[in-house]
Structure 1
Amino acid sequence: MDPVTQGALGAAVALTKARPEQLAGAAVLGALGGMAPDLDVLIRSSADPLLFLEYHRQFTHSLLFIPLGALLCTLVLHGLIGKRFGFRFSLSYVFCFLGYATHGLLDACTTYGTLLFWPLSYERVAWNILSIIDPLVTLPLLAAIVWTVRTRSSAAVLLAVAWFGTYVTFGMVQRDRAEEVAWRLAESRGHTPHRLEAKPSFANLLVFKTVYEADEVFFVDAVHVGWKSKVYVGESVAKLNVSRDLPWLESNSQQAHDVERFRWFSNDYLALDQSDPNRVIDMRYSLLPNDINALWSIQLEPPASAERHVMYQMHRGDSRAALPTLWAMMTGADID
């Protein structure tokens, strides 16, 4: 989730356990604790472009790391903030702990993948029930935090936390509805999916990107799930087969190893870019939910050497041009 939402949820949860005279300090410590796990983005290397993919949402986001992560936050923040509000170290720890504890769980609600159970498991947990950015999550939390700190009444923040829980539950319902539509769509095409997922599109829970794999091919569509469901038919592309698609790639080369690292990161939703035979894309993300134009990829460069890494690339595209189409999908309108 975006840093503002992470901080807002951390602050809101911390405020639910604060006394009236503690509210301002609790909000600050909870917010900073809620954002702290994303400091793992600093773990990166100019020589290895994929290193940050392995460590972002890794150990700092694990449920088992919460007590230690909260302690590290408190060691830094108590002297800077906690003491200024008259808190004991133990109280600063409580508020940092409550904020820190929300982070991994909130990230797992999105589609990116979070190592919640590291080091017991390296599975990337993604419940696909919230978009990475969603104002219906963030704005009520921010408004409730301001109101609670100004009025010294916790009623607003309790309502905001209850709203968050309700909205997450709604996301689960919407995801399941979208998956049901996608299963029916696959059956109508004569396909028996090997796997199928529905992921919320940008900033809403009305339109989901559905991806299913059948016969080594990915099929991408968008599904509007309002009062009635509507399918926006998308595209298909063959699943990456290294021996077929990258015959020049030596199996013991660094680039071959990087492809497998990228496969783990993307949960094996990999395909070859149709416009570049040496680019491998992550099928899970695109500007429009019925597109296969990926937001990020890795670029390979033949010949494969023992040391050369792949290049990691971001593809922003024209987001302004995509927004009217996404809005039309959200309203259930027909599109060209």
Structure 2
Amino acid sequence: MDSITQAVLGASIQGALLGRWQGRKALLYGAVLGTLPDLDVVIDYGDAVAEMTYHRGFSHSLFVLSGLALLLTALCRRWRPNPGYSSGRLFLSLWLVLVTHPLLDCFTSYGTQLFWPLDLPPISGSSVFIIDPLYTLPLLVAVIAGLLFGLKGKMSRWPTVALGLSTLYLSFTLAGKQMAEQRVEQALARDGIHAEKIFSTPTPFNSLLWRVIVIDGEDYHEALVSWFDRSLPHLERIPRGTHLAAVLHDSPQHARLAWFTDGVLRYDDIDGHLVVTDLRLGMTGFHPFRFAMATREGNGWHLIRDVELWPVERGDLSRLQVLWQRVWEERQVPLLAWANALQRGPRQSAR
């Protein structure tokens, strides 16, 4: 999730558990500690694929963060002891502030290596967009109120209430994900399509309209599903270019990316560059993580050693308006046209 959300989540937890004794400082301590795991972004991991796939690694591990909580508890007890609360309460507070950061990240589409260093695939619940105002707003209000009026009396309950509301909202997003996938499965049965895998995620900034990707061999299907739909969704068939994946058989970056994304990838030959797109993130036709992994030389391909991000065009606000209208009306959205834009080079996209 975004840094503001992680900060107000950490502030709310520490305010709820230690605000009685630490006052407004609990909110500040929790906000700083709640954003700590994302400091791994300052580490240079090498190329663009490594930067993406090693983020949310060790710094988001439950093992590492639990050890850090123990260390911070010991240091606080030694240098800043407070007789008002026990070491157990202090550890619980610090531990929850730290581990709820990666746990919340697990609800997004990116992928979080919660059990690093175990060789397990990253967890991607994909029920919340990376920025979701409905989740953040109750926590933000509680933190602002706590900073303005303190955490005494009835005000001490605000962080707890906000945490309850935000947790209920997460439950709502999980219900939405299940709803969307069930409707798409019914549409697949209707059309006689056998799905290799199904990936669903909310559309940008809301959890009422869902984007569902169905991997089907050389192609993939995309569908939009709203809570208010009365009919089964239309499945838009889109070429995936998987025949190009053979070019990357010896690419360690491609192997790493395929592991990280569970293979929800698309391949395009763009101006002699083999561009691999992570379809999970962003929106149809606008995906922030695209990588040029090989260049065509004569009749063959040459692997790129230092992989870089492929230039991505800016998001189109008019498309957000189309998606917002789609929430309420079962209108056709030009998903195929949007997806075909991925075949254009950066100069063409800029026009």
TM-score (norm 2): 0.81
Matched to 1:179, the amino acid is: E
Preserved CA contact (<8 Å) 2:274 2:293 = yes
| Residues 164-188 of structure 1 deviation map (CA, whole Å, 9 limit, x = unaligned) | 1110110111000000111112222
Out of 102, 118, 124, which is 1:126 matched to? 124
Match of 2:5 in 1: 5
CA distance 1:132–1:229, shift in 2 (3 Å)? farther
> C-alpha separation between the residues in 2 aligned to 1:305 and 1:334?
44
> C-alpha separation between the residues in 1 aligned to 2:305 and 2:290?
17
Matched to 1:148, the amino acid is: G
Gaps of 5+ in 2: 334-351
CA distance 1:174–1:274, shift in 2 (3 Å)? farther
| Residues 103-154 of structure 1 deviation map (CA, whole Å, 9 limit, x = unaligned) | 1100001111101111223311011221110111111101012223414222
CA distance 1:314–1:163, shift in 2 (3 Å)? farther
> C-alpha separation between the residues in 2 aligned to 1:41 and 1:229?
43
Q: Does 1:325 align with 2:322?
A: yes
Deviates more, 1:222-231 or 1:163-172: 222-231
Match of 1:148 in 2: 146
Match of 2:18 in 1: 18
Preserved CA contact (<8 Å) 1:116 1:125 = yes
Q: When the two structures are aligned, how many residues end up with a matched partner?
A: 322
Match of 2:337 in 1: none
Out of 248, 268, 278, which is 1:282 matched to? 278
Q: Does 1:273 align with 2:275?
A: no
> C-alpha separation between the residues in 2 aligned to 1:203 and 1:272?
27
Preserved CA contact (<8 Å) 2:245 2:267 = no
> C-alpha separation between the residues in 1 aligned to 2:2 and 2:324?
21
CA distance 1:225–1:312, shift in 2 (3 Å)? same
Match of 1:160 in 2: 162
Runs of 4+ in structure 1 over 4 Å off: 71-76, 85-95, 227-230, 274-277, 303-307
CA distance 1:118–1:158, shift in 2 (3 Å)? same
CA distance 1:272–1:144, shift in 2 (3 Å)? same
Q: CA RMSD in A?
A: 3.1
Match of 1:261 in 2: 256
Preserved CA contact (<8 Å) 1:13 1:98 = yes
TM-score (norm 1): 0.84
Counterparts of 1:90-101 in structure 2 under 5 Å? Answer: 95-101=93-99
CA distance 1:270–1:42, shift in 2 (3 Å)? same
Match of 1:51 in 2: 50
Out of 289, 293, 302, which is 1:296 matched to? 289
Deviates more, 1:179-188 or 1:86-95: 86-95
SS class of match (1:300): strand
Q: Percent identity?
A: 27
Preserved CA contact (<8 Å) 2:61 2:115 = yes
> C-alpha separation between the residues in 2 aligned to 1:145 and 1:116?
27
CA distance 1:37–1:314, shift in 2 (3 Å)? farther
> C-alpha separation between the residues in 2 aligned to 1:3 and 1:72?
24
